[in-house]
Amino acid sequence: MSRLLPYEEKALLLKISEDDENAFRTLYDIYFHRLSVYIFKLCKSDTATEEIVQDVFIKIWEYRSSLASIDTPEAYIFSMARNKTIDLLRKLARETGLIGVLKAHLELSNNEIEDKLNLADLRRLIDEALEPLSDQKKRIFHLSGNEGLEHDEIAQIMQLSKSTVKNHLSQTLQHIREFLSQKQNPEALLLLLSLGLFYS
């Protein structure tokens, strides 16, 4: 379905606020494909895209009584979709942690990556998280992530026990996970999502 003019969309929201289900269906038809494309570009996941799009329209209907006051329907709907994406990403970050994310990122860093700025931003965040840690932990993280060495190889190089290396690396990854969680930085979270590292 073709897009409506802003004043036509505003009138459509007014009808929805008055419990007009046909108007809601029209809005759904207008925005479903556009929202799906927008969200998929961020998460690279059909499952997540479907979940977020459905949630957006559910919320629109649940809060329909407030729609009459919306002046810019398109901005309102896409802002809601963005926020829902951030919410899902935060949930995934809490549930899965960032160990797999860091591993996948460091593997990707050796390939040709189109979005150099995003990669640089991710590295900056990781470097910032590592800053207060000891030199020993930083080196272990570098040897594991950047050099791809196994725990026993790192232990031999640094003359440490394998268990010490494993514990230091685990503590470092936990610290990075907590650091990014405390940042409350939607852009950083969306960056991780846009790299497609939370979904296989």
Q: Which amino acid makes up residue 98?
A: L
Please compute, for residue 86, the number of CA atoms within 13 A of its CA located in the half-sphere on the CB side: 13
pLDDT of residue 94: 57
Q: Give domain limits for the chain.
A: 6-96, 99-194
pLDDT of residue 149: 81
pLDDT of residue 197: 35
Nearest to 144, CA basis, from 132, 124, 125, 160 = 160
Please compute, for residue 187, the number of CA atoms within 13 A of its CA located in the half-sphere on the CB side: 5
Q: What is the CATH number of domain 6-96?
A: 1.10.1740.10
pTM score, whole prediction: 0.49
Q: Which amino acid makes up residue 169?
A: L
C-alpha to C-alpha distance for 15 and 179, rounded to whole angstroms: 45
Nearest to 24, CA basis, from 52, 81, 62 = 62
Does the domain at residues 99-194 carry the CATH identifier 3.20.20.70?
A: no
Please, which pLDDT band fits residue 198 given cuts at 50, 70 and 90?
very low
pLDDT digits (tens, 9 = 90+) for 48-62: 888 899 999 999 999
pLDDT digits (tens, 9 = 90+) for 26-85: 999 999 999 999 888 877 778 888 889 999 999 999 999 999 888 888 888 998 998 888
C-alpha to C-alpha distance for 167 and 163, rounded to whole angstroms: 6
